[in-house]
């Protein structure tokens, strides 16, 4: 550890952080100076003395993670990243919040070296960090047994009042305490101010008692007391079986004569006069802006060297671990490289051709097979494993108190999220961000609404979370309109970077999983049926690989059909039956199955037009949902057979009749359109 800082140098460094934030917000005329000013001392203490990282390699797998859940305080993070030598030049700080800069308004994963996850929607950083900590414990149980190897890092975070007000932090906090994630340490920025004024307006709970009740280890410190904070963080690390909350009392806008402690400090530039007064009060030069004094640079240069040296030391230990534990090291590498057998697709498809079943049940079979060859798959459901949404993997233990007696509670692969969809999505993303495991999670498709913020963040970050949703249409039946998705498929398909798969039978389900297993450029989603669907009878020259193109011909009368029926999921078999009726009357009908709209749209336009011509062929889309995302294919004269109202509680056959999803009803609508 480096020499002890003099109080003067410490203050100098903290003021550098404060004035970098102040100057950047002032120049951009946009941003949040208050939290960086109040947090400069605790954040610097954390980064300087506690956080393990190597600025020359922000992805070093053994690093501690740092989550700034109150992402609006992004200038705090950017200042720290710059000062600690990450590849974030001062120019980028000067260009804070400008188009194309590495310092966007809120921390964005993949845009800025050292930013561990995208934060901004309050509460999400808190919940994602729980996933990162869980991934760390899962890694330790598999690879880091005996105190060496991977999985021994900590996940640190700063969370704000807003984070703790958001419900997702309660869900995630509950699970973190229940799972005993002792590797998770959050500082709560207890500044008692939010945008509309003092938090006493709306936030009166006893936060310490809340977290104690959730089985956290809770301490309180004065944010201006670095040694108190140092002791608290050391005690938090010593606490192995409980996550830690360090209640850190701070003053928003600290150092500003007229803004400190006021909500005005939260999200407005201080203004030229107040910047001058603040600099004068701190004895800081008025010019130049974005000043980093020499003594600050010198101290940090030494710390950067020390942190890099500590990393090299850790690498030596890791190499020794590799030698001593070749099988574990090999499994760790296989997981991180997401190794898969070359015959994955055919092994996932085996025996499913010609087999009629619900696609959720096909999905369960396929996931078992996938996890058998790729043991780094971990996941679970929000209390719906019994509905295969997704299932509990056989022969793999449960994570947490459900683990078998004598087993490490993190050795299993089955996660039990409880009825906590919001946190489930975020925790799944956190596991994906850790980059050791490939996580999946699921529930009924309707409850994707509860997970939309996390799904959107996964898409924004392009992390490979897998969302498995079942009961994907009104054909779940008697549970009725509260459980029947209508607009969800369209809404999910509208999220950029998210691949939404709605397979029609066992082969499509297996091929969708095969594609997802090899896709690391963003999240994937499966929408699976509750009800049994018939195995499709596909015409030659069909190959299972055709499914990977997002759409393909199931039945084709030749190059010039009169009608093309485009259907997804459980409606493909229905379209085939309707086509049979029309063909019997002499109408040439092609049936196209479209399990993944975005995949199909990524195909060359020639392929798209070969399936769905852009001439006077009648195109009819069939989907037991709103169906708006298929309208682009049908043109002005085409037809979407979808649903434009909420569902109803009834047996499946009665719903099909009432909502027009019978072969006769579809054929009749096609006839009418042709006549029309
Ligand atoms: C989910 C969500 N809702 C609302 C906002 C807008 N917002 C940004 S900061 C904030 C509250 C600020 O209070 P606090 O968390 O205490 O931050 P501080 O004032 O300490 O900077 C709000 C409502 C947001 N970022 N995310």
Whole-number percent of the chain with pLDDT over 70:
100
How far does the centroid of ligand 1 lie from the alpha carbon of residue 197, in Å? 12
Tell me, yes or no, if the pTM score tops 0.75. yes
SS3 197: strand
**What CA–CA distance (Å, rounded) separates 581 from 185?**
64
159 close to ligand 1 (CB < 6 Angstrom): no
Q: What is the pLDDT of residues 597-623, one digit of tens each?
A: 999 999 999 999 999 999 999 999 999
Predicted confidence band of residue 107 (pLDDT cuts 50, 70, 90): very high
- Pocket mutation for ligand 1, best pick of 194, 201, 259 (most atoms within 8 Å of C-beta): 194
454 close to ligand 1 (CB < 6 Angstrom): no
Q: What is the pLDDT of residues 213-238, one digit of tens each?
A: 999 999 999 999 999 999 999 999 99
Residue 421 among the catalytic residues: yes
162 close to ligand 1 (CB < 6 Angstrom): yes
Q: With 60 as the cut, is the pLDDT of residue 2 above it?
A: no
Q: What is the pLDDT of residues 353-395, one digit of tens each?
A: 999 999 999 999 999 999 999 999 999 999 999 888 899 999 8
How far does the centroid of ligand 1 lie from the alpha carbon of residue 120, in Å? 8
Helical H segments across 354-499, by residue range: 359-373, 421-434, 452-461, 488-493
Q: What is the pLDDT of residues 237-265, one digit of tens each?
A: 999 999 999 999 999 999 999 999 999 99
**How many residues can be counted in the chain?**
676
232 close to ligand 1 (CB < 6 Angstrom): no
Q: With 80 as the cut, is the pLDDT of residue 635 above it?
A: yes
Q: What is the pLDDT of residues 582-599, one digit of tens each?
A: 999 999 999 999 999 999
- Pocket mutation for ligand 1, best pick of 122, 200, 201 (most atoms within 8 Å of C-beta): 122
Strand partners, 381: 416, 442
Predicted confidence band of residue 174 (pLDDT cuts 50, 70, 90): very high
First to last CA, the chain: 82
Burial (Cβ within 10 Å: 0-12, 13-18, ≥19) of residue 557: middle
**What CA–CA distance (Å, rounded) separates 404 from 416?**
14
Ligand 1 atom showing the smallest separation from residue 106 Cα: 25
How far does the centroid of ligand 1 lie from the alpha carbon of residue 21, in Å? 17
Ligand 1 atom showing the smallest separation from residue 32 Cα: 21
Q: Tell me which of 26, 421, 508, 571 is the catalytic residue.
A: 421
Which letter does DSSP use for residue 557 in this model? -
Pairing of strands 589-593, 552-555: antiparallel
252 close to ligand 1 (CB < 6 Angstrom): yes
Contact 504, 569 (CB under 8 A): yes
pLDDT at 3: 61
Whole-number percent of the chain with pLDDT over 90:
97
The residue assigned the tokens 């600690």 is 84
Ligand 1 atom showing the smallest separation from residue 123 Cα: 1
Sheet (strand 639-641) strand order: 552-555, 589-593, 563-567, 618-622, 639-641
């Amino acid at each position: 550890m480096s020499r002890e800082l003099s109080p003067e140098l410490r203050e100098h460094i903290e003021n550098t952080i404060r004035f970098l934030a102040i100057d950047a917000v002032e120049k951009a005329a946009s941003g949040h100076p208050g939290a960086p000013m109040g947090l400069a001392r605790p954040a610097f203490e954390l980064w300087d003395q506690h956080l393990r990282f190597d600025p020359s390699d922000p992805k070093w797998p053994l690093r501690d993670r740092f989550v700034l859940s109150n992402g609006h305080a992004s200038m705090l993070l950017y200042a720290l990243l710059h000062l600690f030598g990450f590849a974030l030049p001062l120019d980028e700080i000067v260009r804070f919040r400008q188009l194309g800069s590495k310092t966007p308004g809120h921390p964005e994963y993949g845009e800025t070296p050292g930013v561990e996850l995208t934060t901004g929607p309050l509460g999400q950083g808190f919940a994602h960090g729980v996933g990162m900590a869980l991934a760390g414990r899962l890694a330790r149980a598999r690879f880091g047994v005996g105190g060496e190897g991977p999985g021994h890092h900590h996940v640190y975070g700063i969370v704000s009042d807003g984070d703790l007000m958001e419900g997702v932090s309660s869900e995630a906090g509950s699970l973190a305490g229940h799972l005993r994630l002792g590797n998770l340490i959050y500082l709560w920025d207890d500044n008692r101010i939010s945008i509309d004024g003092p938090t006493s307006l709306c936030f009166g709970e006893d936060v310490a008692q809340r977290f104690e009740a959730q089985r956290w280890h809770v301490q309180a410190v004065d944010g201006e007391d670095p040694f108190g904070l140092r002791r608290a963080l050391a005690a938090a690390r010593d606490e192995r079986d409980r996550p830690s909350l360090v209640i850190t009392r701070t003053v928003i806008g600290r150092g500003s004569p007229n803004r400190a402690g006021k909500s005005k400090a939260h999200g407005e530039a201080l203004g030229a006069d107040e910047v001058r007064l603040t600099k004068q009060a701190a004895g800081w030069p008025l010019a130049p802006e974005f000043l980093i004094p020499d003594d600050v640079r010198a101290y940090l240069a030494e710390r950067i060297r020390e942190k890099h040296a500590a990393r090299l030391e850790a690498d030596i230990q890791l190499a020794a671990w590799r030698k001593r534990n070749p099988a574990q090291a090999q499994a760790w590498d296989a997981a991180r490289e997401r190794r898969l057998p070359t015959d994955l697709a055919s092994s996932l498809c085996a025996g499913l051709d010609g087999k009629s079943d619900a696609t959720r049940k096909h999905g369960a079979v396929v996931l078992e097979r996938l996890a058998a060859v790729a043991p780094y798959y971990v996941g679970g459901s929000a209390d719906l494993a019994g509905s295969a949404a997704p299932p509990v993997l056989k022969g793999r233990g449960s994570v947490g108190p459900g683990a078998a007696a004598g087993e490490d509670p993190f050795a299993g692969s089955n996660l039990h999220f409880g009825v906590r969809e919001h946190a489930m999505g975020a925790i799944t993303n956190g596991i994906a961000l850790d980059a050791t495991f490939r996580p999946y999670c699921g529930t009924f498709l309707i409850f994707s609404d509860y997970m939309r913020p996390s799904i959107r963040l996964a898409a924004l970050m392009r992390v490979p979370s897998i969302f498995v949703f079942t009961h994907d249409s009104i054909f779940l039946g008697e549970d009725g309109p509260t459980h029947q998705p209508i607009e969800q498929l369209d809404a999910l398909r509208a999220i950029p970077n998210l691949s939404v798969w709605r397979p029609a039978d066992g082969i499509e389900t297996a091929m969708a999983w095969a594609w997802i297993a090899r896709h690391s450029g963003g999240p994937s989603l499966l929408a699976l049926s509750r009800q049994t669907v018939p195995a499709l009878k596909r015409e030659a020259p069909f190959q299972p690989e055709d499914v990977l193109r997002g759409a393909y011909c199931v039945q084709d009368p030749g190059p010039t059909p009169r009608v093309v029926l485009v259907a997804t999921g459980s409606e493909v078999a229905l379209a085939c039956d309707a086509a049979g009726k029309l063909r019997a009357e002499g109408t040439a009908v092609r049936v196209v199955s479209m399990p993944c709209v975005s995949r199909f749209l990524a195909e060359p336009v020639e392929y798209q037009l070969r399936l769905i011509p852009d001439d006077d062929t009648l195109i009819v889309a069939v989907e037991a949902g709103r169906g708006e995302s298929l309208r682009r294919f049908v043109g002005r004269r085409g037809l979407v057979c979808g649903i434009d109202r909420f569902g109803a509680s009834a047996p499946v056959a009665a719903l099909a009749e009432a909502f027009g999803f019978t072969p006769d009803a579809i054929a009749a609508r096609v006839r009418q359109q042709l006549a029309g």
